[in-house]
Structure 1
Amino acid sequence: MAYQLYSRGSVRSANPQISSPLPPATRQPQPPIHPVPPQLPRSAATSPRATATAQSQESLAPYGGDFSTSHATPHPHITVESVRTVHIPSLTRITSLLLPIRYPNSFYTNIITDPVVASLSRVAVYHDHPVAAVPNSSGSSGSDKVIGGIRCRLEQQDSDYQIQGRVATNLYIQTLHLLSPYRGHGVAASLLDSLLYAPADDVGRKHKVSHIVKHYNIQSVTAHVHEANEDGLRWYVARGFKVQDGIVEGYYRRLQPSGAKIVRLDVQWDDQAEDHDQSCEAHVAQEESQNTTSSDAEDEEWEKVEADHDDDDHGVQPLDESRVLDRTDSTPSRKRKAEEESAHLPQRR
C-alpha cells in the first residue's frame, strides 16, 4: 500500500497538467420530473423577508382539527395520509433519491414535532390490495410503502392584506415528489388537493377549500420549478398555476442552468360565496321536502276521494242483501231438508 501511494505521488509530480477528478459536489445530476428548491440562496436565507416568514409561521396557531383521515386517489391501491413516525425512514430515502439535495434530519423530524408543519405535510402510501373504502390512518401494514410526499410551509403576505382580521398567507411547496412507476395516475395532484380542498361529496361537484385553508387564511400557492423542467411546468399549468415572468438566477446551484421559475395559484374561496352556496343548497332541500310532503298529501287525498265516492260495488253484494246468509225462519236449513228427504225414501231389506 505504501508503494502504491508513493507511485501515485510520483506520477502526479511528473504530470502536473493532469487535473484531479471533479468532486461529487460539482457534478451535474439530471433534474427530476418535479424538482423542488433544496434551499433558499444564501442571500435570501439571511434576508429580513425570510426571517419574517419564519417568525410568522412560528406565531401561527396550529390547526386543531383532525387531519388524520386518509384520502382516496384515482389509483385504487394508493391513499394520501398524514405523516407518522413510521413513514419518516421511507420518506427520507425517497427524498434523497429523487431530489438533488440532502436535507438535515430536522427537516423530517419537524413533520412530527411541529404541529403547523404536520398539518401541511402528507405522504402517498401504496397498499398491496385495492382500497375500496378508505380507512382512517390508525395503523400501517407491513406491506404498505411510502411512494411520495408533499411538505409545505406558510409565508405571510402583505400585512395590510387581511380578511376579517386574519393575515393572508401563501402556501409554499417545499417538496412534492413521487416515484416514477406511480406517476400519471393523479397521485401527485391528490397530494396537493388533500391540503387545499375538502373531499367532494358527489362526483363532479366543485371542490370547496379545506378547513386548513380557512384556518391559515391561505390565499395563494407558490413553488419554484427548474427553468429547464418543461414537464414540471406543464404539470403545474394544467392544474391552474400560472408561470410568473422572469427567472430566479442561481436558485439551483447544483444544476445547469441554475435558474428557477416561480409558479403561482390563486386560491379561489370566499366565505360569503360558500355561505350563499350552502343557503342555496338548504333552500333546494327545503323545496324538495315541501314537494315531497305535498305529494304525500295529494296521494292521501286521492285515496280518500276514491274511498268516499266510489259507488261501484264491482259485483260484490253487500252483506245485508245476501240471500244466502240472510235466512228467515220459513227457510229450512240444508240439514233439516236432508233429514226430511231421507225419511220419505223406501228402506231396503
Structure 2
Amino acid sequence: MAKYNISLDDLTPNNLQVLRRINSVVLPLPYSDAWYKESLTVGPLVKLAFFNEIPVGAIRCSLVVPQKHNVGESKIYIMTLAVLAPYRRYGIGKQLVDYIINDVVKLEEMAFVKEVYCHVWVENTDALEWYVKTAGFEKGEVVPGYYKKMDPPGDAVVLRKRV
C-alpha cells in the first residue's frame, strides 16, 4: 500500500506564488495582485496544503464582523478553496476546511465566530455536493449574478456551517 503525507503550512512571501498558481489552475476567475498581497496579512485564515511535500491545495478566508450597530454574529468566509484535480480524493479539501472549523475558530481572537460560509457557483455541482456530503455544510439561498466577471454572470449558492 502506497504511503502519503498530507500537511498544511503557512503562507509566506516565499510561497505566495504557490497560492497564485493553484488558484489560477483550479478556479474559474482570477484574483488581483492586491488580493494576493492581502493574503499575506490574514494569518491563520490562509493555509497551503502539501501532498508528499508537493503543493496541491489552498484555502483563503476572511473574518466577517458585523458593523457596530448591526445585530449579528461574526463569521468566517471561505473566499477560495482549491485542490488540484489529481489530488481531490485524498481528503485534502476536507483537511483544509476542518483546519478552519476546528483550529482557527478555537483561537482566542476567533472565539466569537459562530458560522463558516462560502459561495459556490450553481453550475459547480461537484463542489456543491462535496460541501454538503463531505464537509457538512447546508445549502442556503441562491444569489443571482453573484459572479459578475463571468460571461454571462453566474449565480451562486450560499453554503453555511454552524461552529
Asked if these proteins are the same fold (TM beyond 0.5), I'd say yes
Q: Where do residues 298-317 of structure 1 align in structure 2 (5 Å cutoff)? A: none
CA-CA distance at 1:126 after TM superposition: 2.5
Amino acid at match of 1:120: L
1:190 aligns with 2:115: no
Unaligned runs of 5+ in 1: 1-74, 128-143, 162-167, 199-208, 268-349
Change in Cα spacing, 1:257 to 1:103, as seen in structure 2 (3 Å) is: closer
Q: 1:124 aligns with which of 2, 27, 49?
A: 49
Cα separation, 2, equivalents of 1:87 and 1:215: 26
Q: Equivalences for 1:41-190 in 2 at 5 Å? A: 76-112=4-40, 114=41, 117-127=42-52, 144-157=53-66, 159-161=70-72, 168-190=73-95
CA RMSD of aligned residues (A): 2.1
1:256, CA displacement in angstroms? 5.0
Distance 2:4 2:100 in 1: 20
Give the gaps of 5 or more residues in structure 2: none
Which structure is larger by alpha-carbon Rg, 1 or 2?
1
Structure 1 runs of 4+ aligned residues shifted over 4 Å read none
TM-score, reference length from structure 1? 0.42
The residue correspondences of 1:134-283 to structure 2 (distance < 5 A) are: 144-157=53-66, 159-161=70-72, 168-198=73-103, 210-212=105-107, 214-216=108-110, 217-238=112-133, 239-245=135-141, 247-253=142-148, 254-256=150-152, 258-267=154-163
Contact 2:25–2:84 (Cα < 8 Å) also in 1:
no
- Please give the secondary structure, in 1, of the residue aligned with 2:115: strand
Which structure dedicates a bigger proportion of its chain to helix? Answer: 1
Q: Which residue identity is paired with 1:215?
A: E
**Cα displacement (A) at 1:93:** 1.4
State the percentage of identical aligned residues. Answer: 31
Number of positions where the alignment pairs a residue of Structure 1 with one of Structure 2: 156
Greater relative contact order: 1 or 2 (C-alpha under 8 angstroms, separation 6 or more)?
2
